[in-house]
Structure 1
């Protein structure tokens, strides 16, 4: 049972999409939604604004939290929503709040004169350090839901959950998170599995027989890794898909019909960043991506 779902808000269109996605997620799991608006304080200030600030924050910044809360309350009248506004660097504030939430949800672009992708700033910093799953939501996630054949009646998302399973690195926490999300949505769990650095066509000097043996070995290892989770979630239909070639391209394609893509943080790129797989899926803009530590 989740304590709450937390969405980072900054007034951007991407943050609005993330906020709405987080509200559906909170409603799906029967928990509250926390909206967190973090603004770095001016030099020498402990607060976001004061009457004596020589360069006070724009008035729009003060309206971000209340406007986001009003919007969510209108669309989700039965959902418990709280808003916190914090004077702190966004990355630090979000990483800190990860200790008190089960999931952080962020838009894939930040606010500003020049829209800056979270993959290069906040998202990478938060996803690489947070102790809870971080979901990065593309700006057009709402329209993508309808095109992927998901539910348009009510708020409950439908559609497959896709898990990118690196047989050498992905831990049980990511696997369990993917099963839990698939069970909540009532859809299937598509597991795209392979190995770090795997290339299409096998290694040089290996014949077709070696490729077939490797495929059988991968399927056996996949079955072993998910066996206990199948027993825990008997209603979840699991579909195995071997990543024949580059995993990033395979997952980006799978994301086009998914409601959520789940990746372990250790898969491709290590704990310090999102890696090529997350980048590829997010660039496609097809589905939200959960990065699980």
Structure 2
């Protein structure tokens, strides 16, 4: 099947922002964009109600994706855009619709009082059951938001992309996650900021109290681990500038902090084939709820 970028559309502002992001990503990748609108049939008694007649159903099942695709073609010349109409429960239909895609893009409402996302049960279920990378985009996300500020201090789509941020577990580095982050940085001709967070074990804490220089030794050890984990990737992507950040503390908080100056945040999610609900991992879950940039969740074995 042809490679493609898939964006879920339900007519909401957040899904329209996701479709715009997906169109920009499709252009970076040189791929077509498929807009998928999932219509969930209403119960029969409701379907007979005057306000839910054939005209209203046709509006949601035909007009929204058609008009969205037409608008995307105008705003993103050169990107092939198609629209697909599917019926069923979005949490079940979208993972299947994205099986052969390069990635799936979803919209999410911003959390009131926070900079991150409000990821509902449908979004969490789709992320947990989709094995291609899933990108979440907030309502109101603009192309300029992903770029550095211009001389006047205003973000502009005409300036360089902000860095891509990657959360990396050096003890279990997943190739799929690291490769995705390097590819995204390479497409954007920008820096890859790799965040490695760690916590001191109890015996290290004891060592710190006994030896003032022990902390510096631990930092050097952790920094060397990160450098070693990235060695082959630097060779594979020599054009990508890499900034290594190795600090003690919460991995989620450090990635949230990094998101404030990033064009994209990349986190991993271990594939769970059992019936374990919608678990997506504590770090990915926290980053999704508090990051201020689009977040890519990359599944790995």
After TM superposition, the score normalised by the length of structure 1 is: 0.83
> In structure 2, how many angstroms separate the alpha carbons of the residues matched to 1:120 and 1:27?
29
SS at match of 2:78: coil
1:29 maps to 2:34: no
1:139 to 2:139 alignment? yes
Question: RMSD in angstroms over aligned alpha carbons?
Answer: 3.0
1:288 paired with 2:294, answer yes
Question: Helix, strand or coil for the counterpart of 2:73?
Answer: helix
**Superposed counterparts of 1:191-210, under 5 Å:** 191-195=194-198, 198=199, 204-207=205-208, 208-210=212-214
Displacement, 1:279? 4.1
Whether the 8 Å contact between 1:164 and 1:263 is mirrored in structure 2 is yes
| Aligned pairs (5 A) from 1:69-218 | 69-109=69-109, 119-142=119-142, 145=145, 148-149=148-149, 151-153=156-158, 158-195=161-198, 198=199, 204-207=205-208, 208-218=212-222
* Aligned residue pair count: 274
Q: Verify the 8 A CA contact 1:135 1:290 in the aligned structure 2.
A: yes
Distance 1:69 1:241 in 2: 40
Q: Residue 265 of structure 1 aligns to a residue in which SS?
A: strand
Distance 1:283 1:129 in 2: 18
Distance between the aligned counterparts of 1:142 and 1:162, measured in 2? 18
Counterpart residue number, 1:239: 243
Give the superposition deviation at 1:122.
1.9
Match of 1:222 in 2: 226
Please list every run of at least 4 consecutive aligned residues from structure 1 whose deviation after the TM superposition is greater than 6 angstroms.
199-202
Deviation at 1:169, TM superposition (A): 3.6
User: For 2:206, what is the secondary structure of its paired residue?
Assistant: coil
Structure possessing the higher radius of gyration over alpha carbons = 2
Q: Is the 8 A contact 1:194 1:247 kept in 2?
A: yes
Which residue of the other structure, out of 41, 45, 54, is the alignment partner of 2:48? 54
Q: Give the C-alpha shift of residue 67 in structure 1.
A: 2.0
Deviation at 1:202, TM superposition (A): 9.1
Give, in angstroms, the shift of residue 176 of structure 1. 0.4
Contact 1:157 1:259 (C-alpha < 8 Å) held by counterparts: no
Aligned partners of 1:28 and 1:184 also within 8 Å: yes
Q: 1:212 to 1:129 in 2, by over 3 A?
A: farther
Distance in 1, matches of 2:205 and 2:75, equals 56
Q: Verify the 8 A CA contact 2:255 2:291 in the aligned structure 1.
A: no
The whole-number CA distance in structure 2 between the counterparts of 1:283 and 1:99 is: 25
Q: Aligned equivalents of 2:148 and 2:123: distance in 1?
A: 25
| Separation of aligned partners in 2, 1:279 and 1:204 | 29
Structure 1: give runs of 5+ residues left out of the alignment. 45-51, 111-116
- The answer as to whether partners of 1:144 and 1:287 remain within 8 angstroms in 2 is no
Give the structure-2-normalised TM-score: 0.81
How far residue 217 of structure 1 moved from its aligned partner, in angstroms, is 2.3
Superposition deviation, residue 148 in structure 1: 4.9
Deviations 1:187-229 (A, max 9, x none): 000000124xx37999642405443333222222212222111
Task: Quote the offset at 1:92 in angstroms.
Answer: 1.1
The aligned counterpart of 1:274 is 280
Whole-angstrom distance in 2 between the partners of 1:162 and 1:281: 12
